[in-house]
Amino acid sequence: MKLFVLLFLPCFCLSQNKDTMHHTYTYLALGDSYTIGEGISLTKSFPYQAVALLRKDVYDLSAPEIIAKTGWTSDELEEGINSHILSAKYDIVTLLIGVNNQYRGRDIAEFKQQFENLLNRSIELANGKKDHVFVISIPDYGVTPFAKIMDSEKITKEIDEYNNLQKAIAIQYKVHYIDITEGSRKAKTNLSLVANDGLHPSEKEYAKWAKKLVAGMKLLLKK
């Protein structure tokens, strides 16, 4: 009888440790209309597509938590974060913001300070792990049907300025930077990459973003 107890206890402890080690990863997506997938269903947005891809590959993730709203500028996103009940930390945080600053003709110097504030907050929410933060570049809406009556060259030039600034700051802070802008410009000759509203990306375009994000996330998460 004593021998049975001695053999049984180690097995029980190993099983208990395995359960204790189990972890469901969390993902926080910060942004604007490009993050919520304006013009298509939320489940086809890039955060949801990224989670679906990882789950398909047997990674255990909860649904993405999203703080984003169509039309938000960088300061409005910061206000949104401040008014949101957040978890203490997240395993992955993405940040995609700035297009509405450009669209409204805001001062890019003002954006720089606000973007750095958002990036610092993102790092804090990622439990201080800089390599768990992903900055995603701003797509070029100047190539969409929406911008036909606008100065598309000016839009492209200014989007590049915003993205160059973001990339430099991302490098400085040692976080990931994912460039989706060049790919977004293919919408000029391929309308399947544009949603029915003629402005925002389609499910197909978001799938490309999700694949790029997942490639980086897989380097950080364990099955």
Residue 86 lies in a domain: yes
Specify if 3 maps to a domain: no
In a domain, 180, yes or no: yes
Segments forming the whole domain that contains residue 194: 23-217
Residue 223 located in a structural domain: no
**Lowest-pLDDT range of 1-10, 66-75, 210-219:** 1-10
Q: What angle do CA 46, 50, 56 make, to 5 degrees?
A: 145
With cut-offs at 50, 70 and 90, classify the pLDDT of residue 138: very high
Residue 9 lies in a domain: no
**Per the domain annotation, does 206 fall within a domain?**
yes
Within-domain flag for 84: yes
What global pTM score does this model have?
0.90
Query: Does the residue 56 lie in any domain?
Result: yes
Percent of the chain with pLDDT over 90: 89
Question: What mean pLDDT do residues 33-51 have?
Answer: 97
95, 138 contact by CB (below 8 A): no
Confidence of residue 23 (pLDDT cuts 50, 70, 90): confident
CATH number of 107's domain: 3.40.50.1110
Q: What are the pLDDT digits (tens) for 174-196? A: 999 999 999 999 999 999 999 99
The Cα–Cα gap between 208 and 139 comes to 12
Number of structural domains the chain divides into: 1
Average pLDDT value for the chain: 92
